[in-house]
Amino acid sequence: DAKTTQPTSMDCAEGRAANLPCNHSTISGNEYVYWYRQIHSQGPQYIIHGLKNNETNEMASLIITEDRKSSTLILPHATLRDTAVYYCIVRSSSSPQGGSEKLVFGKGTKLTVNP
């Protein structure tokens, strides 16, 4: 029941920018877009999140379209260690009544960075 759609796989050359798209056409006004990645046999690693504005941190940039129906995660200079499955997740900014703040992970995009 993931609310996002991502390509199954992508390739990128080492040193080039990796642009990972995500569609979230049913996103509502109080929902954030989160990105995590999971390297094989490790726990998911938080990358970045945003609501409306573009965001940048030491790991990546997040570009959210004006209508908020899609976003792109940008790794500016991909390295071999960026090879992982990248998950785009939509989650509310407020706690659900009587419920948990579980994260719903879809299948994600398998990014392979090639030498």
Catalog residues that contact another protein under the rule CB under 8 A.
Answer: 2, 32, 34, 36, 41-46, 49, 87, 91-95, 100-108
Closest distance to another protein from the beta carbon of 103 (Å): 6
Distances (CA, A) of 69 to 37, 82, 84, 111: 21, 26, 24, 22
Is there a contact between 6 and 54 (Cβ–Cβ < 8 Å)? no
Closer Cβ to another protein, 49 or 63, answer by number:
49
- Give residues with Cβ within 8 angstroms of 87, minimum separation 6: 6, 35, 36, 37, 38, 44, 105, 106, 108
Closer Cβ to another protein, 43 or 115, answer by number:
43
Closest distance to another protein from the beta carbon of 100 (Å): 5
Closer Cβ to another protein, 17 or 28, answer by number:
28
Closest distance to another protein from the beta carbon of 59 (Å): 13
